[in-house]
Amino acid sequence: MLMFWTRLSISQQLFAAIALTAAIVVVSMATMIAISMRAGFSQYLAEAELGRFDGLAAALIAAHDPEKPGWPELAADRDAWHGFVRQNLRPGPGMAPRRPPPNTGGPEGRRPGPPPPRPGDPMQFGVRLSLLDADGNRVAGAPPRGGILAKRALTAPGGDAPVTIGWIALGAASTGPSPADSVFLEGQFRTLALTAVLALALSAVAAYLLARRFLGPVQVLAGSARALAAGDFSTRIKSSRRDELGALYRNFNELAESLEAAERAERQWISDTAHELKTPLSVLRAEIEALQDGIRTIDAKTLDELHNSVMRLSRLVGDLNILAEGREGALAANRHIEDIGEIVDEAAESARPRIEGSGLTLNTDIEPGRLGRCDSLRIRQLVDNLLENARRYTTAPGRIAVAVTGGTGGIEIAIEDSAPAPPAEAIPHLFDRFYRAEPSRSRQYGGSGLGLSICRAITQAHEGTITAAPSELGGLAIRIVLPALGAIDDEA
């Protein structure tokens, strides 16, 4: 059964599930209504018959002795009860004598079950009618049988309100309803069956339409997914739905946009890498061909040019390798609890000779004891890159400021420099690979265009953030926020 179900399409499964559920509900309701209707109709017939026993009820009330409650004279003698009933019970309108049931065999020609009605008892009152006391206990007559029992209270004056002195109980007739009653029941059952069939048909139609409504959007999504898998990242699903399927469409469109952006970035990455490798390779090729043709001689100047080209290639390959490690999550593999302020201070003091040799001033404001879990070598590389970037792109005489502070948001490292500043429209792109804000921050300074990209990769590997903004000193301000463990106690 499970294998057959899994072979069905989603629309077929949905249709089958809804239709089957509706069929079970309708059939169950129709069955319960039919059973309830038959039992209720039998109860109604018994109560209708009992409602005509005014004479018997009045006689029983008149024969009741408050000094001897419970009609002891009827309880002690069975024949007295039957005689009392025959004497005071007269068939009323609509109480046609019922045909006694035919014999069905068994011992002495009797069928099993309760005793047959007494002679001259076509309504079977001998086996259906009983007298109960005020507490509902049987006084005389046949024991109540079956689940259908109609009762009529016998009341007598007493005090402020009538007092119940007993009950007349009448069970349902074992011969079933009369022909007229059967015709009525059959009509009701036919109406019920027709209603059930109509409900099943409407449920099937509703299930089919609902399955079709769900199938259409699923087919659209499946077709778009196939186009996306084939490499068409421009695929989008247009829809104004506001339900769960509309949310699924929006998620699909976001996925397609992400894949398209990633594919576009990858193409740009390959193009930029090839472009950056092309320049030093062209220089190397020209120098080597000139040496081969005898145009150039091997001297110190030529060797320096070749060495510079090779070193530039080496730096570019190293930077590309660092970015690749960042994408693989290996940039912060060796994390330990470190004093980040101390790491920044060591990097600043190491870079001070080069900075001051370029005609710049280096100011530091570093709070000691700022703990963080980090890879000290990568954080040192991050600070070195930012200081070297500031040294290259700051005009002498200028100024570079380094600060390390702490707060609830984490440990903040700020490196600012003086003029010139990159154009405002270039600042959001400074961390893009191979991006240069021409002309002030160009290739002539020897950079690969990957320094700030590497800084961002290292920061992200440490669950930190890095931002760029204009500096109050007139240049660029880079701010890094890293997660902190807390400050070291001064006495420690």
Per-residue b or e along 182-200, where b marks 16 or more CB atoms closer than 10 Å to that residue's CB? eeebeeeeeebeeebeebb
Query: How would DSSP label each residue in 279-295?
Result: HHHHHHHHHHHHHHHTS
- Report helix, strand or coil for 260: helix
Give the torsion sign (CA, 437, 442, 445, 448): positive
One fold for 244-326 and 334-487: no
Q: Which two tokens stand for residue 191?
A: 């109406």
Helix extents (H) in 294-392: 300-327, 340-357, 376-392
**What's residue 482's pLDDT?**
92
Taking alpha carbons only, the member of 54, 72, 53, 50 closest to residue 63 is 72
**What's residue 345's pLDDT?**
93
Contact partners, residue 396, CB within 8 Å, separation at least 6: 358, 359, 360
**What's residue 431's pLDDT?**
84
Per domain, the residue ranges of the chain are 244-326, 334-487
**What's residue 270's pLDDT?**
76
Contact partners, residue 387, CB within 8 Å, separation at least 6: 347, 348, 351, 355, 400, 402, 415
pLDDT by residue, tens only, the chain of 492 residues: 556 666 666 667 777 777 778 778 877 877 787 777 666 666 676 777 776 777 888 888 888 878 888 888 887 777 788 888 878 875 544 444 444 444 444 444 444 444 444 455 555 666 678 888 888 888 888 776 656 677 888 888 876 778 888 888 887 766 555 565 566 667 777 887 888 788 778 877 887 787 777 778 888 888 899 998 888 888 899 888 888 888 888 999 999 998 888 888 778 777 767 766 776 787 788 888 888 888 878 888 778 878 877 877 777 777 777 777 666 555 666 788 999 999 999 999 999 999 999 999 999 999 888 898 888 888 998 898 899 889 988 998 999 999 999 877 799 999 999 988 888 888 888 888 777 665 444 444 445 667 788 888 888 888 899 999 999 999 999 999 999 875 444 434
**What's residue 333's pLDDT?**
63
**What's residue 478's pLDDT?**
94
**What's residue 309's pLDDT?**
76
Per-residue b or e along 327-340, where b marks 16 or more CB atoms closer than 10 Å to that residue's CB? eeeebbeeeeebbb
**What's residue 301's pLDDT?**
79
- Report helix, strand or coil for 67: coil
Task: Identify the DSSP state of 96.
Answer: P
CB 416 within 8 A of CB 476: yes
Q: Which two tokens stand for residue 336?
A: 């330990």
CATH number for 334-487 (one of 3.40.50.1010, 2.60.40.1180, 3.30.565.10, 3.20.80.10): it is 3.30.565.10
In whole angstroms, give the CA distance from residue 128 to residue 124. 6
Burial of 417 (0-12, 13-18, 19+ CB in 10 A): buried
User: pTM of the prediction?
Assistant: 0.48
Q: Which two tokens stand for residue 406?
A: 């702490």
**What's residue 490's pLDDT?**
41
Taking alpha carbons only, the member of 137, 115, 134 closest to residue 124 is 115
Q: Which fold has domain 244-326?
A: Helix Hairpins (1.10.287)
Single-letter amino acid, residue 354? R
**What's residue 104's pLDDT?**
41
